[in-house]
């Protein structure tokens, strides 16, 4: 054996053990389903996670077994994350916003042994229990005195009772870092959902890279409030990144409305947050209508779908909150790129710096990317040419859980596998990527492409527009033409012609939507993104003017 460095596996349990040893009194604060605030420390969290891991082991949960959750962001969810992964199991976070039948399908596909749930989701559990015969126990994440009586759920257990079966002197096993620790299903656009299975190694490396200053840039001086749910790609890694850096964690539980988030940001001196654009609309509307400011909140990561430039500016100019625009996917654990400035940008005029920050950004070390054309040839990084975005890296999926869908990778001349993201993007000479669209959402007009994201971003900059979505509508001459679908702000008035004129001079004339339709609401998917499939369904019989 060569005299090398210590060979210590990169294990998820080490992240929490590190926090418990080196940041023992740093707090984890959670708003509970009951409405009250719960607070304890990393040391407490570690002890309870160890106890739970021991309890699950005693209950016969084995290395590799899947344990599901249907839960909000909270301390018990955090304990399950670490107990399950730490003992060698696989934490399978299920998105409660999916249809119960789809949830049952996922639970059965994953062959989950136990499912832990917040009381909010009891109706889902009641609807699926009979459909999921392999689940050995349904664990209600509550105190004993709150355990509901439900005839429809066999083997209903109380979380605190299960925990009490274990011993907190449990010693975390030294697992293979390449073994599985987490499972997330991605809402497949075609066919059934597919699972991305994370390893201890991929999760740890992702957390290291994500914490870097030019990535998410988290530190022990931060108080982090993940608005992004722990069931949406592990809250973008924050439950791992916070213990790694020693940051305080503030979990919002089920209360994601503007008022509740604002109160928590203020009372817990939150400096840092993360979420999809739609959740920030609620917060910004609340602070604007009440004339409020943030005392400590300084940075937020926004991603999951394109962050409208108008939102970046509002946060920065009116509230002194820096927006970090990020791109990622379930298959990437999720982080791929983030937009932060480099030295060369610092002397640029403000408008040009802003343009950089509006992009989806630069890769973090570990991820490589490229754009390719129809013949899979590499396309130039000129900020204009767009093509299919491919990525590779140690936290990018190699194959879906159980091999579903076959080999998803595309191989280059050197035999290296690249994951096709399904996104269409440009990359500029400095390596900043900008998403044009999902390849299925891009509007094909007269053999050219129109970016629905660009048209949406411009529409939401209009003061009367609350939400906007653009879809392609069949056109006999041009193939497809854009239709703008708009939700107006409460009490605001705007006409179709005003909105169409609003595009003048901001885009190529032929990109201008052919028509505008006003609606009460735009359908959102399970992770808060605009559900274009549903919108296309709604407008399937719609004809453009003059067609």
Which residues in this chain contact ligand AMP in the complex, by CB under 6 A? 186, 233, 303-306, 325-330, 334, 360, 421-423, 435, 438, 527
Q: What angle do CA 491, 306, 354 make, to 5 degrees?
A: 95
H or E element: which one contains 518? strand 515-518
Q: Measured from the CB of residue 13, what is the shortest distance to ligand AMP in angstroms? A: 26
Q: Say whether 331 is catalytic.
A: yes
Per DSSP, helices labelled H in 268-349 are 277-289, 309-313, 319
Q: Say whether 186 is catalytic.
A: yes
How far apart are the C-alpha atoms of 191 and 233, rounded to whole Å? 20
Which lies closer to ligand AMP via its Cβ, residue 137 or residue 417?
Answer: 417
Q: Measured from the CB of residue 28, what is the shortest distance to ligand AMP in angstroms? A: 25
Cβ atoms of 364 and 339 closer than 8 Å: no
Which lies closer to ligand AMP via its Cβ, residue 33 or residue 228?
Answer: 228
CA 335 to chain centre: 9
Per DSSP, helices labelled H in 199-325 are 200-211, 233-236, 238-245, 258-267, 277-289, 309-313, 319
Which lies closer to ligand AMP via its Cβ, residue 49 or residue 442?
Answer: 442
Q: Measured from the CB of residue 420, what is the shortest distance to ligand AMP in angstroms? A: 10
Cis peptide before 428 (omega within 30 of 0): no
In 276-416 the beta strands, taken as DSSP E runs, fall at 299-302, 322-328, 335-338, 361-363, 368-372, 387-392, 410-411
Which lies closer to ligand AMP via its Cβ, residue 129 or residue 274?
Answer: 274
Q: Measured from the CB of residue 112, what is the shortest distance to ligand AMP in angstroms? A: 20
Which lies closer to ligand AMP via its Cβ, residue 9 or residue 422?
Answer: 422
Helix (H, G, I), strand (E, B) or coil at 446: coil
Nearest alpha-carbon partner for 307 in 330, 279, 340, 335: 279
**Catalytic, out of 160, 177, 268, 331:** 331
Which lies closer to ligand AMP via its Cβ, residue 113 or residue 457?
Answer: 457
Q: Say whether 449 is catalytic.
A: yes
**Catalytic, out of 57, 69, 186, 300:** 186
DSSP string, 188-215: -SSSS-EEEEEEHHHHHHHHHHHHSTTT
Cβ atoms of 177 and 160 closer than 8 Å: no
How far apart are the C-alpha atoms of 428 and 199, rounded to whole Å? 32
**Catalytic, out of 327, 449, 478, 511:** 449
How far apart are the C-alpha atoms of 540 and 185, rounded to whole Å? 28
Handedness of CA 365, 275, 103, 94 (dihedral sign): positive
Q: Measured from the CB of residue 527, what is the shortest distance to ligand AMP in angstroms? A: 5
Which lies closer to ligand AMP via its Cβ, residue 160 or residue 423?
Answer: 423
Q: Say whether 194 is catalytic.
A: no
The tokens of 17 are what?
A: 């053990």
Helix (H, G, I), strand (E, B) or coil at 324: strand
Q: How far is CA 155 from CA 100, 114, 140, 218, in A?
A: 19, 10, 11, 41
Q: Measured from the CB of residue 233, what is the shortest distance to ligand AMP in angstroms? A: 6
How far apart are the C-alpha atoms of 17 and 191, rounded to whole Å? 40
Q: Measured from the CB of residue 177, what is the shortest distance to ligand AMP in angstroms? A: 24
Q: Measured from the CB of residue 287, what is the shortest distance to ligand AMP in angstroms? A: 23
**Residue numbers annotated as active site:** 186, 331, 444, 449
């Amino acid at each position: 054996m060569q005299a090398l460095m210590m060979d210590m596996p990169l294990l998820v349990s080490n992240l929490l053990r590190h926090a418990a040893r080196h940041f023992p009194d740093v707090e984890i604060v959670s708003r509970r389903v009951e409405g009250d605030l719960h607070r304890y420390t990393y040391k407490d969290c570690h002890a309870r996670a160890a106890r739970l891991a021991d309890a699950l082991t005693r209950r016969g949960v084995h290395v590799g077994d899947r344990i599901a959750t249907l839960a909000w962001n909270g301390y018990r969810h955090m304990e399950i994350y670490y107990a399950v992964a730490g003992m060698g199991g696989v934490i399978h976070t299920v998105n409660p916003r999916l249809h119960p039948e789809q949830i049952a399908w996922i639970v059965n596909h994953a062959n989950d042994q136990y499912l832990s749930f917040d009381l909010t989701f009891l109706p889902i559990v009641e609807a699926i229990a009979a459909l999921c015969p392999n689940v050995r126990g349904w664990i209600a994440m509550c105190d004993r005195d709150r355990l509901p009586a439900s005839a429809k759920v066999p083997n209903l257990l109380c979380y605190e009772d299960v925990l009490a079966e274990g011993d907190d002197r449990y010693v975390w096993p030294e697992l293979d870092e390449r073994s599985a620790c987490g499972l997330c299903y991605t809402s497949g656009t075609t066919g059934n959902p597919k699972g991305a299975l994370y390893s201890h190694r991929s999760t740890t490396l992702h957390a290291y890279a994500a914490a870097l200053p030019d990535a998410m840039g988290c530190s022990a001086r931060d108080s982090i409030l993940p608005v992004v749910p722990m069931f949406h790609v592990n809250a973008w890694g924050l439950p791992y990144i916070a213990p790694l850096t020693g940051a305080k964690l503030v979990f919002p539980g089920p209360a994601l409305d503007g008022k509740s988030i604002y109160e928590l940001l203020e009372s817990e001196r939150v400096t840092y947050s993360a979420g999809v654009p739609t959740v920030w609309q609620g917060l910004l509307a609340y602070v604007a209508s009440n004339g409020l400011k943030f005392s400590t909140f300084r940075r937020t990561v926004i991603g999951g779908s394109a962050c409208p430039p108008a939102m970046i500016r509002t946060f920065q100019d009116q509230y002194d909150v820096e927006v970090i625009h990020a791109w990622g996917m379930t298959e990437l654990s999720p982080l791929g790129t983030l937009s932060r400035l480099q030295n060369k940008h610092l002397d640029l005029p403000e408008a040009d710096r802003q343009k950089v920050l509006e992009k989806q950004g630069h890769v973090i070390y570990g991820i490589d990317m490229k754009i390719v054309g129809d013949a899979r040839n590499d396309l130039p990084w000129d900020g204009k040419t767009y093509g299919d975005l491919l990525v590779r890296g140690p936290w990018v999926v190699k194959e879906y859980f159980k091999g579903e869908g076959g080999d998803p990778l595309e191989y280059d001349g050197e035999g290296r596998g690249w994951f096709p993201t399904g996104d269409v993007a440009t990359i500029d000479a400095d390596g900043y990527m900008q998403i044009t669209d999902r390849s299925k959402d891009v509007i094909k007009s007269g053999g050219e492409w129109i970016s629905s994201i660009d048209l949406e971003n411009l529409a939401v900059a209009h003061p009367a527009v609350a939400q906007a979505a653009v879809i392609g509508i069949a056109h006999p001459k041009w193939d497809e033409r854009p239709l703008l679908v708009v939700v107006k702000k409460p009490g605001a008035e705007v006409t179709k012609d005003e909105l169409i004129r609003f595009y003048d001079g901001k885009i190529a004339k032929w990109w201008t939507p052919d028509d505008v339709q006003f609606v009460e609401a735009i359908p959102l998917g399970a992770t808060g993104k605009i559900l274009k499939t549903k919108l296309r369904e709604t407008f399937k019989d719609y004809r453009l003017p003059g067609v």
